[in-house]
């Protein structure tokens, strides 16, 4: 959590000097190099699946860059506190997609948890930002980023 929060704050400093897309052009290759360097220590090729490799390669063509760009742009427009909180909506979107695409069902305790996330984010946003027609669409930018799963990493970009 410290790394996630520090990433949002440090991104705000970087955005003072360059546009979000330039930050993405630096962030993605940096994380790629880091993961390639770490792969020999953590990846066992004998347990791999070619199908999974192809699927993850396809996801990698779109996901990291899009997620980082939305992250940086929402940070620039809303600031790190609101953008970071709104990114907590990712589990809600993951649940909706799991229901629609995988046929999963929500269990009883999950409903109040999802409602608490949505309610808390809504209250936080209303306190810090004057809701207007122009600013309300910004609520969609951070949740556009997605997490891998409920317990997955919040953001796999490395931000310097």
Q: Which two tokens stand for residue 41?
A: 């220590």
> What are the tens digits of pLDDT across the range 71-100?
788 888 877 777 777 777 777 888 888 889
For the CA atoms of 32, 34, 35, 40, what is the dihedral angle to 10 degrees? Answer: 130
Residue 115's pLDDT is what?
85
Low-confidence ranges of the chain (pLDDT < 70): 125-160
Mean pLDDT of the chain: 76
Q: Please tell me the distance from the alpha carbon of residue 123 to that of residue 156, in angstroms, as a whole number.
A: 27
């Amino acid at each position: 959590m410290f790394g996630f929060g520090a990433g949002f704050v440090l991104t705000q400093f970087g955005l003072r000097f360059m546009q979000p897309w330039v930050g993405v052009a630096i962030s993605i290759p940096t994380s790629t190099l880091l993961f390639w360097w770490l792969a020999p220590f953590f990846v066992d090729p004998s347990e791999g699946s070619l199908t999974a490799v192809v699927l993850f390669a396809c996801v990698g063509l779109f996901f990291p860059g899009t997620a980082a760009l939305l992250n940086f742009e929402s940070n620039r427009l809303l600031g790190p506190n609101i953008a970071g909180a709104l990114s907590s909506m990712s589990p809600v979107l993951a649940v909706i997609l799991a229901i629609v695409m995988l046929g999963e069902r929500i269990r009883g305790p999950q409903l109040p948890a999802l409602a608490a996330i949505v309610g808390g984010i809504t209250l936080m946003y209303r306190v810090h930002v004057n809701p207007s027609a122009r600013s309300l669409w910004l609520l969609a930018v951070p949740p556009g980023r997605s997490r891998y799963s409920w317990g997955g990493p919040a953001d796999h970009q490395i931000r310097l």
